[in-house]
Amino acid sequence: MTGHLVLSTLHTNDAPAAVSRLIDMGVEPFLITSSLTLVVGQRLARVPCSKCSEPVEADPRTLELLGLDPGQVDEAGLRSGPGCGFCAQTGYQGRLGLFEVVKVTRKLRELIVGRATEVALKEEAVAGGMRSMRADGLAKALAGRTTLEEVLRVTPPDPDLARRASRRAGAQSPPPAQAQVPQPPPRPRPRCSSWTTTAPSPRSPPPCWSTATRWWRPATSTRACGWSSPSTPT
């Protein structure tokens, strides 16, 4: 507001939450929009020990908790160490930052003045190009600069990553079964009550004959049964 660059720190879960934290502290939204230009969220993750770390495969449980599909993760760069004298048997030596950066754009300013929810601010930040600390950590873990377990431990969940994971799970699950169209019960076949399986007499061919069942109606009966009547039964 006065032309001075002021750098400050704030404790929040992520970078977009800095806005609601400032409002909670009593700062008016119009003052935030006129003075806040950039927010950087940071977590520190441990770095695998340079002496004892070696390439490892990802733990399936960790991948599941992070919402990652094993088939889509290139594990070639993953590293972890069992621990040695250099790293005090921890497997880690040093730390690096995982970051997310929110640039306060015109659209974000409108949301702040309108006292939009934290979720809406975060969605707009992601739409504006923000990469979450978890996404930044995953990229660094896959490059061997930290571990997946550290990313899981120090970063808050990323709703965008979780949404993509649930979409993948939905795509892999079998499609729901087609609703069964109820079929009407089969219509009872008309059947002549006087039919018989007895072979007909050649002298008195029956007047009624069924090709499906080859049942015969006695020649003495005169009732119609609805079946076709060939002239010469076989």
Are 92 and 80 in contact by the 8 Å Cβ rule? The answer is no
Q: Which of residues 68-87 bind Zn ion (CB under 5 A)?
A: 81, 84, 86-87
Whole-number Å distance between alpha carbons of 36 and 30? 10
CB of 56 to Zn ion, least distance (A): 14
Instruction: Identify which of residues 92 and 216 has a Cβ nearer to Zn ion in the complex.
Output: 92
Q: Which is closer to Zn ion, CB of 87 or CB of 125?
A: 87
- Shortest CB 54 distance to Zn ion, Å: 10
CB 224 within 8 A of CB 209: no
Nearest-10 Cα torsion for 169, 170, 174, 178: 170
Query: DSSP assignment, residue 72?
Result: G
In angstroms, the CA 189 to CA 217 distance is 16
When asked if residue 135 is in the footprint of Zn ion (CB under 5 A), the reply is no
Of 51 and 223, nearer to Zn ion (C-beta) is 51
- The answer to whether 49 contacts Zn ion (rule: CB under 5 A) is yes
Per-residue binding letters, 85-124, with Zn ion (x by CB under 5 A): -xx-------------------------------------
Give me the helix-helix angle, 106-113 and 118-127, nearest 10°: 170
Residue 47 binds Zn ion (CB under 5 A): no
- Contact footprint for Zn ion (CB under 5 A): 49, 51-52, 81, 84, 86-87
